[in-house]
Structure 1
Amino acid sequence: MEKSVIHLECATDSVDVFQRFDLISQFRESSENHNIEGERRLSDELEQFRNNIRSQGTAFYIEHNNKHYIITARHVLFDERQYLANEREQQNSFPDSSPREKTCVFKEIYRVPSLSELSNCNAHDRINEIIHSGFLSLVSSGAYELSTYILSQEELDIGIIQLDRYYPNVIQGLKKFGFIPLPSSVISEEDFGEGHDVFTVGFPGSSIVGQLDLCNPYRQWMSSAVSEHVYTWGRVAMNHNDLPSFWCDMTIYPGNSGGPVIHDGKIIGLVSGQPTIPIEGSPELRTRIPFAHIIKGRHIMNTLRALEEKIANNYGS
């Protein structure tokens, strides 16, 4: 199972493209003479804000009908910051327009290397191998309708990316580092009652065991974290056939999101998150409680089939 579970790190800019254009335009307007050198320095300064906001999550690697997929939680892939920037620009240009669908994903998605990969080898050479093996750069370019990824409804919290059409280098890179896709038949569409033993494998914050001392441009184009898998065990705590999700009495933390939940060798769900409750006496504040919110396997398969159909309609089989 470990060689089918991937640690993702998603990256976005703290200065979005619209702010970048505005700053350069303001510089040009404030310069009495067109100062190419000054503009170049400004562009160089803005580079420090490229890919400098990072978030992490867990994904699992699946093969379905001879195609390769990365499956994770929707909120792991969704770039809310860029979505809001796009909406502000849309409202400035077209004040009467309706909000667009929340389908904006992080423009850069990296794989966090493991300690095992970096042990007993030349770290510099291995870093180059990781970068050149490629990982999901600019997955959000182009129209969502023509993309090879899918985001479910927010309440289902499933995000899936197909690799074969645009990212064959990622498939080769994963193979090179020993990752093996699980067959989609391992995803169970059955319901499981309370008391069933389950476990998950993923990458909460405690999975980070070190940091690489990266210089530019490496720092912008890969993760500096080094991690190892973390397992947690528990039991199904609440389930009902009519609900899209169930609860597990199982410890998870930020970073586990998107990881598989396994029972008896089958993936029965996907980690979505922890519930929160208001703090007594301070209802505006909330605290997490130690239960895991799990999206059922049948919705993973339904979303996978929907992506398969979307790609077939756009590009053929």
Structure 2
Amino acid sequence: MRKLNNIPQDNLGYAVLLSLNHGESFGSGFRLKYQNSNYLVTARHVLYNDDFKLRSDFLTVTCQSARAFDLDPLIMEIELDKAKVHYSASNDVAILLIGTNQLESKAKVPLKNDKAVHKRVAFLQLEKYVNITSTGNKFVTSVDSEATRKLDEIRVGNDIFLLGYPMSLRLKEERFFDYSKPLLRKGITAATYPKENTFTVDCPAYFGNSGGPVIEHGEDDYYRVIGIVSRYIPYIVEWVNPREHIVNKEYTNSGYSICVPMDAVYALIDKHKP
């Protein structure tokens, strides 16, 4: 019997905050463990402009613990001009090789059945262009490839969760929540669009959410990352003044968001294996 939503605590530590050029722009992302390597995954437009040029020379990655009482994050500074970073020309996704995973012990059971508090514990050998500027906590979580799902496995109507950093909601005088911690948003999968390799969720996203993980609560009561946030779908109101031939369009957030499935992530990684 499928249980009520009770998202596993380690899932709450998936999303990382991305800061470019020391705070000029922000985005979200997550770390992925795949074939003994550790990757930063995000939306292409977070790292690249419309001309496919990197937006910044430096990228700051803030990794929070899944445990609310761990206040000090792990912070990495990445030299983008030296990094092994790649983007997809057809999908809004980018990857960056962080390092190599060395498992402390061999997996004995499928991840789905692993009841350990800390699953697949690994030591991370960083690439030379990745510098740790704050060691922070030791409970940083990467998404295991076994805890993901591809587009043809996604079930329309399943509950989903968006994790990320909607920094556009920020007000300088706001002091009642911590902008350095990810926010969780809940919705459902509204549709899949295999032709364009995307899916739609009935869940609002805002500037800063781009690149953050989308987590599905499966029909088997297992939680999997199924993709990344790309953009919201706007609701357009058009005002027309026929006498003056003036057209004014107002764009608001419809509450629906476009996401890129994990298929695009794995295709990009396999294309640029180290």
The answer to whether the aligner puts 1:244 opposite 2:197 as a matched pair is: yes
Distance (whole Å) between structure 2 residues aligned to residue 174 and residue 209 of structure 1: 28
**Equivalence for 2:80:** 139
TM-score (norm 2): 0.68
Distance (whole Å) between structure 2 residues aligned to residue 113 and residue 163 of structure 1: 13
The number of residues matched between the two structures is: 220
Q: How does 1:72-91 map to 2 (within 5 A)?
A: 72-79=42-49
Please point out which of 52, 56, 66 is paired with 1:106. Answer: 56
**Equivalence for 1:197:** 159
The answer to whether the aligner puts 1:68 opposite 2:38 as a matched pair is: yes
Structure showing greater radius of gyration is: 1
- Residue 298 of structure 1 and its aligned partner are, at CA, apart by 0.9
Q: How does 1:1-317 map to 2 (within 5 A)?
A: 1-11=11-21, 54-79=24-49, 102-112=52-62, 134-136=76-78, 138-141=79-82, 147-153=83-89, 155-164=90-99, 165-167=127-129, 169-170=131-132, 176-191=137-152, 192-205=154-167, 226-263=179-216, 264=218, 265-281=223-239, 282=247, 285-308=250-273, 311=274
User: What's the CA shift string for 1:16-41, capped at 9, x where partnerless?
Assistant: xxxxxxxxxxxxxxxxxxxxxxxxxx
- Residue 185 of structure 1 and its aligned partner are, at CA, apart by 2.2
Distance (whole Å) between structure 2 residues aligned to residue 307 and residue 208 of structure 1: 36
The letter of the residue matching 1:302 is: A
Q: Is the 8 A contact 2:13 2:66 kept in 1?
A: no
- Residue 7 of structure 1 and its aligned partner are, at CA, apart by 1.0
Task: Determine which structure has the larger helix proportion and give its number.
Answer: 1
TM-score (norm 1): 0.59
- Structure 1 residue runs without a partner (length 5+): 12-50, 81-100, 142-146, 212-224, 312-317
- Structure 2 residue runs without a partner (length 5+): 1-10, 100-126, 240-246
Cα distance 1:196–1:114, how it changes in 2: closer, same or farther (>3 A)? closer
Task: Determine which structure has the larger strand proportion and give its number.
Answer: 2
Q: Is the 8 A contact 1:201 1:259 kept in 2?
A: yes
Cα distance 1:187–1:117, how it changes in 2: closer, same or farther (>3 A)? closer
Percent sequence identity is 20
Q: Which shows bigger deviation, 266-275 or 174-183?
A: 174-183
Q: Is the 8 A contact 2:65 2:137 kept in 1?
A: no
The letter of the residue matching 2:16 is: I
- Residue 256 of structure 1 and its aligned partner are, at CA, apart by 0.9
- Residue 286 of structure 1 and its aligned partner are, at CA, apart by 3.4
